[in-house]
Chains A and B, each alone.
Chain A
Amino acid sequence: MRRTRSPIREHGRGAWLLALVALVLLVVVAAACGSSNSGGTSPSASASAAVGVLPSPTPGSSITVVYHYPAPPKSLLSQFTAQTGVKVNWVEVGWDNLQTKIAAAASSNTYFADLTDVDWSKVGQYYKTGWFTQLNPYFDASSLKSDMPQIDTFQANGQLLAMPFDASYTVTTLNTKLFKAAGQSATPATVTDYTNALNALKSKGVVANPLDIPFAAAEGLSTYWYQTTAAFGGQVLDTSYNPLFTSPSSAGYKAMQWMVNAYKTGLVPKANIGVSDYQGFTSEMAQGRVASVFSDYSGTVASVYDVPSSSKVVGQVQYIPTPGTGSGTVPNLANPDGIGIPKTAKNVAGALAFIKWFTNTQNQAIWGGLNGPSDVISGFPLPARVSSLQLLAQSGKVAGSQELLTLLKTSRAQFPGPGAPPWYAQFSNSVYTNIHQAAAGSQTVQQAVTNIANQVNQLKAS
């Protein structure tokens, strides 16, 4: 009797075969996804003989720059290609999204870009994770310091992890027209003068809520507190990262109390509980709904308030030295972006050549407006170099250049000494959520500072 093959067995064998094929393919895909980039650093890039000597890029090669600013004008990028033979693919990605991509790509050891953003707040984290190429062999931070005052921000334990993409610091802006309308012609020099002036604007009905503080639970609220703390004569963490804000007499405590009081007494619009930093600039300050931002960003006068198509306060807003509590100058805290090379970059030589070109004196001035609006990088806050800012000030093309130049020279790192801690993201998260909750009324300032301090101590211990 001939044995017939059972259809069930046939299906069973087919299923096994299918499973086997799928498994093999899955393993192949997984292996492909997980494999590291073998292209990595080109040999020429790792063999630089002396500081400042860059390896020659390979003509005909290309680099991918992923950044949260738009690309420089094509005509200028073409000049770079003509000089070096390296083609530039610029991909613009939003800041938040970009940070996620950097973390995801680096943690899986996958190629993502040859150049990307290194935010000042991430330097400690990147130092510890080792995700970015050290630039010390190629750029001498100590000799560049006088022309690039914020270069220190991108160093951790002597390692230079990025070059400044721009210069940016927190600075006070005020609408002179609205202040004058309330009889406040003199520039407020102290926090008390400033608060009194704001109260005058409110009581005289010039503006219902004259002050912008972005109370949304986001990074902008944290940096606002750091700058306000500096105005009250202190800083939030010491060089060993111990909290300095727990005592009611400390600058950090007073600063937070001042911010929360400003919200509760109506100096700040109630809507600001959900307003982030740039929303405040564009929908409040630029529309004349508020008269001042205590911790604004350098460059917003030219890039936001003096833009006729989107601003109602053109020519009315100016930078002022941040008011303090004593007679000394209040430091303006550095808030720059850097440009760095991920460890998984494929074309390191090309990337180094691009950094050198992008950060040179002439180009930095061009990104800031030296050639006029057509060559500006939209939203670019300020050139990273003093020499570039001097060119801008001499040209007279950018509002407030002279004031910004003066303030740039005295700007200070957010965390002087060791730089941002590796656990800065958790710290900042604790800062903005707790201040947000204090303003929303779900906890007191005392509870907020206690919670933040507990978080710092926990992070230090971990």
Chain B
Amino acid sequence: MSGESVSTGRKRPRRSGRFLPYILLSPLVLFIGALALYPTIVTTVQAFFTVNPLDPPTRFAGLANFRALWHNPFVRESAANTVLYIIVGVGLSTLFGLGMALVLQRRSHWRGVILALIVLPWALPAVVEAVIWGWIYDPTFGVLNSVLKSLGIINGYHVWIGIGRVVSIVLIELVQVWQITPLAALLILAALQSIPQELYEAARVDGAGRWEMFRRITLPLVRPGLAVAMVESLILSLNVFDQVYVLNGFAPGGASIMLQTYQISFNNLNFGQGYALSLLATFATMLLSLLILAVVYRRVEF
């Protein structure tokens, strides 16, 4: 036995083995680089160019694309609509997700089945869900009208989507809430299950009620899970497209910023402005995500 091996107490890794982690990681790095990093760099650069097959050649435009977007009333309207989509989407999915997680936290024989069932909307394609909800909202034979009428809430059948802006947006976003709430519930449930039971037992000994325990133990300690769920809902609400397109077409009253990006890029062929709007949406996502993390997220250690 050599002295060196005695002093270190471990085998020196073979030269080829040192590179193994990098070799294993490289396909993923390449994948992310090709599908995320490279398009992001291209988008960022091209946002400052006029890229329009109807107005060749491609040329540097400075901030002209951003100025044009600012002066475009449809872009401004879709940005305002998207704010509403975010408020409804993040608010409701977090609220419902928390409620579902609290229910699912209780041990029950049916928990596995219930978990499988609530995940179903998350697993369905957004277009399919929008078509299903389109039938529910249908003004002629939709379930919503018939239920509300049989309950005496409305006198006659209503047109729900396309007439009023706020109602249209809320109802469209409800479809997305239905889809994303299961994921929010699972994220929050994971955080809930990491809270030590001893904390609740100690609180109970001290005479705390259910509400007190929820307010002073559950809510503060579930904040990391809430933050992640809210960021996930934010990203999906800000990028809402399928539900809007299927339920409301290109009507400006419900158009989202992603629908507008599609219109500008592929309908108007103004790719430069499309890149610029995508870039702005990316920045908005990043800023709002950081804001949620700053306000909601707290490091929790047990």
B239-256 Cβ-contact flags toward A at 8 Å (1 or 0):
000000001111111000
Chain A neighbourhood of B26, CB < 8 A:
18, 21-22, 25
Chain A neighbourhood of B266, CB < 8 A:
99-100, 103-104
- In the complex, A90 has a CB within 8 A of chain B: no
Docked-complex contact B267 and A422, CB < 8 angstroms:
no
Docked-complex contact A18 and B269, CB < 8 angstroms:
no
Docked-complex contact B159 and A271, CB < 8 angstroms:
yes
- In the complex, A460 has a CB within 8 A of chain B: no
B43-73 Cβ-contact flags toward A at 8 Å (1 or 0):
0000000000111000000000000000000
Considering only CB atoms, which chain B residue lies closest to A17 in the complex?
B22
Considering only CB atoms, which chain B residue lies closest to A104 in the complex?
B266
Docked-complex contact B22 and A14, CB < 8 angstroms:
yes
Considering only CB atoms, which chain B residue lies closest to A27 in the complex?
B38
Tell me, in angstroms, the Cα distance from A19 to B161 when the chains sit together: 50
Docked-complex contact B251 and A433, CB < 8 angstroms:
yes
Q: Which of A14, A18, A217 contacts B250 (CB 8 A)?
A: A217
Tell me, in angstroms, the Cα distance from A347 to B96 when the chains sit together: 55
Contact status of A440 and B249, CB under 8 A, knowing A14-B19, A22-B29, A422-B54: no
CB distance from B155 to the nearest CB of A (A): 14
- In the complex, B263 has a CB within 8 A of chain A: yes
Considering only CB atoms, which chain B residue lies closest to A18 in the complex?
B22
- In the complex, A432 has a CB within 8 A of chain B: yes
Chain A neighbourhood of B37, CB < 8 A:
26
Tell me, in angstroms, the Cα distance from A388 to B30 when the chains sit together: 55
B interface: dominant SS: helix
- In the complex, B294 has a CB within 8 A of chain A: no
Q: Which of A22, A125, A462 contacts B269 (CB 8 A)?
A: A125
Contact status of A440 and B53, CB under 8 A, knowing A22-B30, A125-B269: no
Docked-complex contact A129 and B33, CB < 8 angstroms:
no
Considering only CB atoms, which chain A residue lies closest to B265 in the complex?
A103
Most buried by B among A10, A14, A441, A462: A14
- In the complex, A289 has a CB within 8 A of chain B: yes
CB distance from A215 to the nearest CB of B (A): 8
Contact status of A273 and B163, CB under 8 A, knowing A22-B26, A104-B266, A107-B269: yes
CB distance from A38 to the nearest CB of B (A): 21
- In the complex, B138 has a CB within 8 A of chain A: yes
- In the complex, B105 has a CB within 8 A of chain A: no
Considering only CB atoms, which chain B residue lies closest to A218 in the complex?
B249
Task: List B222-281 residues whose CB lies under 8 Å from chain A.
Answer: 247-253, 262-263, 266-269, 271
- In the complex, B287 has a CB within 8 A of chain A: no
Tell me, in angstroms, the Cα distance from A462 to B74 when the chains sit together: 18
Contact status of A425 and B269, CB under 8 A, knowing A26-B34, A276-B249: yes
Chain B neighbourhood of A22, CB < 8 A:
26, 29-30, 33
Tell me, in angstroms, the Cα distance from A425 to B139 when the chains sit together: 30
Considering only CB atoms, which chain A residue lies closest to B250 in the complex?
A217
A1-40 Cβ-contact flags toward B at 8 Å (1 or 0):
0000000001000110110011001100110000000000
Task: List B119-138 residues whose CB lies under 8 Å from chain A.
Answer: 138
The total of chain B residues at the interface (CB under 8 A) is 38
Contact status of A426 and B268, CB under 8 A, knowing A30-B38, A217-B249: yes
- In the complex, B193 has a CB within 8 A of chain A: no
Chain A neighbourhood of B269, CB < 8 A:
103, 107, 125, 129, 425
Considering only CB atoms, which chain B residue lies closest to A276 in the complex?
B249
A221-257 Cβ-contact flags toward B at 8 Å (1 or 0):
0000000000000000000000000000000000000
Chain B neighbourhood of A68, CB < 8 A:
none
Tell me, in angstroms, the Cα distance from A273 to B138 when the chains sit together: 11
Docked-complex contact A274 and B161, CB < 8 angstroms:
yes
- In the complex, A442 has a CB within 8 A of chain B: yes
- In the complex, A177 has a CB within 8 A of chain B: no
- In the complex, A381 has a CB within 8 A of chain B: no
Q: Which of A21, A107, A270, A425 contacts B159 (CB 8 A)?
A: A270
Chain B neighbourhood of A30, CB < 8 A:
34, 38
Docked-complex contact B253 and A442, CB < 8 angstroms:
yes
- In the complex, B18 has a CB within 8 A of chain A: yes
CB distance from B226 to the nearest CB of A (A): 34
Docked-complex contact B268 and A440, CB < 8 angstroms:
no
Tell me, in angstroms, the Cα distance from A270 to B252 when the chains sit together: 18
Docked-complex contact B140 and A289, CB < 8 angstroms:
yes
Chain A neighbourhood of B19, CB < 8 A:
14, 17
Tell me, in angstroms, the Cα distance from A128 to B249 when the chains sit together: 28
- In the complex, B25 has a CB within 8 A of chain A: yes
Considering only CB atoms, which chain A residue lies closest to B263 in the complex?
A429
- In the complex, A131 has a CB within 8 A of chain B: yes
Q: Which of B29, B30, B53, B54 contacts A423 (CB 8 A)?
A: B54
Docked-complex contact A26 and B38, CB < 8 angstroms:
yes
Docked-complex contact B34 and A433, CB < 8 angstroms:
no
- In the complex, A164 has a CB within 8 A of chain B: no
Docked-complex contact B249 and A274, CB < 8 angstroms:
yes
- In the complex, B162 has a CB within 8 A of chain A: yes
CB distance from B253 to the nearest CB of A (A): 7
Docked-complex contact A217 and B251, CB < 8 angstroms:
yes
- In the complex, A269 has a CB within 8 A of chain B: yes
CB distance from B59 to the nearest CB of A (A): 15
- In the complex, A437 has a CB within 8 A of chain B: yes
Most buried by B among A22, A131, A422, A429: A22
Contact status of A437 and B252, CB under 8 A, knowing A99-B266, A129-B53: yes
Chain A neighbourhood of B250, CB < 8 A:
217-218, 429, 432-433
CB distance from B260 to the nearest CB of A (A): 11
- In the complex, A339 has a CB within 8 A of chain B: no
Considering only CB atoms, which chain A residue lies closest to B56 in the complex?
A129
Q: Which of A21, A100, A271 contacts B138 (CB 8 A)?
A: A271
- In the complex, A123 has a CB within 8 A of chain B: no
A412-434 Cβ-contact flags toward B at 8 Å (1 or 0):
00000000001101100100110
Chain B neighbourhood of A440, CB < 8 A:
162-163, 251, 253
Chain B neighbourhood of A273, CB < 8 A:
159, 162-163
Tell me, in angstroms, the Cα distance from A107 to B33 when the chains sit together: 22
CB distance from B207 to the nearest CB of A (A): 53
Most buried by A among B74, B249, B271: B249
7 intermolecular pairs with C-beta atoms under 8 Å apart:
A14-B21, A107-B271, A271-B138, A271-B139, A271-B140, A289-B140, A429-B267
Give 10 A-B pairs besides A22-B26, A100-B266, A217-B250 with Cβ atoms closer than 8 angstroms. Answer: A25-B33, A26-B34, A99-B267, A103-B266, A217-B249, A271-B140, A274-B248, A429-B267, A429-B268, A442-B253
Interface residues, chain B, with chain A CB atoms under 8 Å away: 18-19, 21-22, 25-26, 29-30, 33-34, 37-38, 53-55, 74, 138-140, 159, 161-163, 165, 247-253, 262-263, 266-269, 271
